[in-house]
Amino acid sequence: MIEPQTQESTENLQAIAQIGRPVPGESLTNSPEQQYPWESPPVHTDLPTAIDALLVELCKPEIFHQLVDSMRAGFPVGDMAEQILFEGFSKGQWNPDLMLLLVEPTMYILIALADMADVEPRIDSEDEPNDAEEQLKNIEKAIDMAKEKVVPTQIPAEISKKVEEQTKELDLPKKSLLSREE
């Protein structure tokens, strides 16, 4: 049963309309001449030129100081690289595939910048275990789970015997399918 519209539901709809978010499907009505940056061909299409452009951009004094201050405050390098690369993608600098290829070089660039500024960069996020023993325990648990679920429980010798028995039971033609006809 459809409930009648109340004053409160009307006010809620008006509040949602005033937020300024696009209506679902609105992007499909954009003019082809007014494309978003990521809808056009990327500026960089190969890894070396993208790395060079990224290094030049990150070494600009105002950006360099912001990066160093963030790393000094304990912001993880991986998270910074993710944000930098997504920003570049949204501005049309590279496509998603190149963005993924740039993750490791970007992290190395950030670590090198931190080293230049005598800052100890934090590589991991807070949700990752910091203790090496705890990481080792988690890896061992993952290996045990994989062994239980992925590794077959039968011994290969038993499998080959079963396969051999099943092939003897099959009624296979004496003549090969690939042999020449007479």
* 0.85 surpassed by pTM: no
Provide the token pair at 118.
């005598």
Per-residue pLDDT tens over the stretch 14-35:
777 777 777 677 767 777 787 7
Give the mean pLDDT of 31-49: 85
Q: What is the C-alpha R_g of the chain?
A: 29
Could you tell me if 110 and 77 are in contact, meaning their C-beta atoms sit under 8 angstroms apart? yes
Distance CA 51, CA 57 (A): 10
Q: How far apart are CA 13 and CA 159, in angstroms?
A: 65
